[in-house]
Amino acid sequence: MIKTSKYISPIGELKLISKNNKLIGVHIIRKESSKNTNKIIEDNDEPILIKTKLWLDEYFKGNKPNINELEIELIGTPFQKVVWNILKEIPYGELTTYGNLSKKVAEVMNKQKMSAQAIGNAVKNNPVNIIIPCHRVIGKNGNLTGYNSGLDIKIKLIEHEKIDMIKLYY
C-alpha cells in the first residue's frame, strides 16, 4: 500500500510517498494533482515518512544528513536507477555537470560514452527530490538549465547549500 504525508519546507510543500515502509518519492508540490488516488492513504505515523521528515528538518537547518539513513526504493528503469544512485554521491554544497554525470554513468555501465540527453531525462524523472540531489546538476559553463520543479526552486536549494552562484546563469 502506498502512503503519503505532507511536509512544509522553506521551499514549499513537499509530498512524501512510501510503499512497504520504504521511501519511494519526495515531490515538490506546485499544484495539486487530480490523478486517481484511491490506493493512496495519508499516514503521518508511517515510520519511514517520520524519518524522512526528520532528515528534511536536518537538511533545512543547514546540516548534512546522510542519505543512507533512509531506506529508499527506487522505482524506475535500470538505467534511471544507475543515474539516480550516482546522483546520491554528489556531496552537499557541490555541483556537477550533466557531462560529468554522463561520464560516470558510462563508466558504471561499461560503455564508452553516454548521451547527456538521456542523462538529463533520467535526472528530470528523479522520484526522490532534494534527498537524491538532482538540483546539484548543472549544464556546462554554469548553465542552471531546467529543473522539473522550476528553476526558482533549484536556485533556492543551491543557495540553501551556500553554493557560490556567481558563475551560474540561466
Residue 170 lies in a domain: no
Q: What is the reported pLDDT for 33?
A: 53
Domain of residue 37 covers 2-69
Domain boundary, last residue among 30, 49, 69: 69
For the segment 46-61, what is each residue's pLDDT rounded down to a tens digit?
999 999 999 999 999 9
Domain boundary, last residue among 69, 103, 125: 69
Assign 170 a pLDDT band (cuts: 50, 70, 90).
confident
Domain boundary, last residue among 50, 69, 88: 69
- 61 and 91 part of one domain: no
CATH code for position 35: 3.30.160.70
Assign 41 a pLDDT band (cuts: 50, 70, 90).
confident
State the cell numbers at 124. Answer: 528530470
Which residue from 1, 4, 13, 2 is spatially nearest to 153, judged by alpha carbons?
A: 13
- 82 neighbors 105 (Cβ within 8 angstroms): yes
Q: Which residues are part of the catalytic machinery?
A: 134
For the segment 75-134, what is each residue's pLDDT rounded down to a tens digit?
999 999 999 999 999 999 999 999 999 999 999 999 999 988 899 999 999 999 999 999
- 94 and 57 part of one domain: no
Q: What is the reported pLDDT for 47?
A: 97
- 118 and 100 part of one domain: yes
